[in-house]
Amino acid sequence: MKIIAIANQKGGVGKTTTAVNLAACLAEAGRNVLLIDLDPQANASSALGVEATEGRSLHAVLTDEAGSLSLAEQIQPTPIERLHIVTAELDLAGCEIQLAADANRLVRLRHVLDHYRASGPAVEFVVIDCPPSLGVLMTNALAAADSVLVPLQCEYLALEGLAKILEMIERIKQVSGNTALELEGIVLTMYDSRTNLSQQVVSDVRDHLGQKVFDTIIPRSIRLSESPGHGKPIIVYDPVGVGAESYRQLAREFLQRQRQN
Ligand SMILES: Nc1ncnc2c1ncn2[C@@H]1O[C@H](COP(=O)(O)OP(=O)(O)OP(=O)(O)O)[C@@H](O)[C@H]1O
Ligand SMILES: [Mg+2]
């Protein structure tokens, strides 16, 4: 079981779109995947058409002092075969405050996932959709993850943003003791081939991070932005369009990289 956090402290860069569609494409490719929606906005849950139900999220498990609640009880199926989800709810935002006095607050999710992994046949991949804020929830995700995948929007000052997130990953590695955390890679999103800026961002980021940048680039696509509103991943909403093809390509490249490591 490999745990991948999709993270970038910047808002609106394509984290949720990438988490949902990469997870769906991995499931389509025959893998068992668990998507954890760790953002109180619950965008990943609604993008898959799964309603956030009160009491069914990580909130109860993360704040359970007795440690008797398990992740398995919170898992729900999605309309996609082999893809399961732990939805988010607004209550998750309360974790920040509730866990404030807990000495183990940064490694709660790691313990929950360790327990899940040890408790029987688990999934192959756990994909965590992180909130944009740099708080207890995102720290928990990075403390629990084996790797972090960073979506980066092809826009002005992308490199500065990238430097910030890489610095933050290093800092969380130190404070959470998760020194094994790896950078899975950078995924360039919302690429617009008509603009020089997009092309410039791609070449700058590749110059700086080389192999760590996925070859697959996610183009800007209206269909991709419409699909969450219909509660469907892109492979269902527009199965043969460029958005679906680019996320399938990303899943293939992701799997290929797993074999190489
Ligand atoms: N490749 C794309 N083409 C067009 N629109 C996109 C693409 N990727 C994402 N979007 C749209 O951009 C917006 C932000 O994307 P998304 O919600 O995935 O970002 P996020 O990083 O999860 O945001 P937040 O930080 O708020 O959680 C959404 O409206 C989404 O539909
Ligand atoms: Mg999001």
R_g of the chain computed on alpha carbons: 17
Ligand 1: residue whose CA is nearest its atom 16: 14
In a domain, residue 260? The reply is: no
SS3 150: strand
How many angstroms separate the alpha carbon of residue 15 from the centre of ligand 2?
5
Burial class (CB in 10 A: 0-12, 13-18, 19+), 57: buried
pLDDT score of 95: 84
How many angstroms separate the alpha carbon of residue 70 from the centre of ligand 2?
25
* Tens digits of pLDDT across the chain (261 residues): 999 999 999 999 999 999 999 999 999 999 999 999 999 999 999 999 998 888 888 888 888 877 778 899 999 999 999 999 999 988 888 888 888 778 788 899 999 999 999 987 779 999 999 999 888 999 999 999 999 999 999 998 888 889 999 999 999 899 889 999 999 999 999 999 999 999 999 999 999 999 999 999 999 999 999 999 999 999 999 999 999 999 999 999 999 999 987
How many angstroms separate the alpha carbon of residue 52 from the centre of ligand 1?
19
In a domain, residue 259? The reply is: no
132 CA: nearest ligand 1 atom: 25
In a domain, residue 93? The reply is: yes
How many angstroms separate the alpha carbon of residue 219 from the centre of ligand 1?
12
Q: In terms of residue numbers, what domain contains 216?
A: 2-254
**Which residues are near ligand 1 (CB < 6 Å)?**
11-17, 39, 43, 132, 189-190, 218, 220-221, 224-225, 228
How many angstroms separate the alpha carbon of residue 77 from the centre of ligand 2?
20
pLDDT score of 70: 87
Q: What is the DSSP string of 2-54?
A: EEEEE--SSTTSSHHHHHHHHHHHHHHTT--EEEEE--TT-HHHHHTTPPP-T
Q: How many domains does the chain have?
A: 1
Ligand 1: residue whose CA is nearest its atom 3: 220
In a domain, residue 198? The reply is: yes
In a domain, residue 119? The reply is: yes
In a domain, residue 261? The reply is: no
CATH of residue 152's domain is 3.40.50.300
In a domain, residue 227? The reply is: yes
Residue of 8, 17, 129 to test ligand 1 pocket, by largest number of atoms within 8 Å of CB: 17
In a domain, residue 185? The reply is: yes
Query: Is-contact 24 127, C-beta < 8 A?
Result: no
For 27, 55, 188, 216, 261, the CA distances from 185, given in Å and listed in that order, are 20, 34, 10, 11, 13
